[in-house]
Amino acid sequence: MKNFNKWLNNHPSLNHSSLEREANIPIRTIAHFLSKANHRDIRKKHWDKLKIILMKYGWKKETT
């Protein structure tokens, strides 16, 4: 998850709400993660679902 913010910035055409719907995670999960004021990590159960979707768009499995 540590490179997720940078990766999203490099893929500006990916819509956060579309990713959330496709991964079946709560709306605004990504926005809360990216928000500097309200930063909070994505729950593991949501991150596991989201990673599967992100891999379809070029995300590489994290090694750490």
Residue 19: partners with Cβ closer than 8 Å, 6 or more residues away: 30, 50, 53, 54
**Gyration radius of the chain over CA positions:** 11
Tally of structural domains, the chain: 1
Range of the domain at 39: 4-56
Predicted local distance difference test score (pLDDT) of residue 63: 42
Rounded Cα gap, residues 27 and 17, in angstroms: 6
Quote the pTM value: 0.84
Predicted local distance difference test score (pLDDT) of residue 62: 63
Mapping DSSP to helix (H, G, I), strand (E, B) and coil, where does residue 52 land?
A: helix
Q: Is residue 42 part of a domain?
A: yes
- Supply the DSSP symbol for 63: -
Q: What is the mean pLDDT of each run of 10 residues along the chain (64 residues)?
A: 87 95 96 83 94 94 53
Residue entry with tokens 């909070």: 40
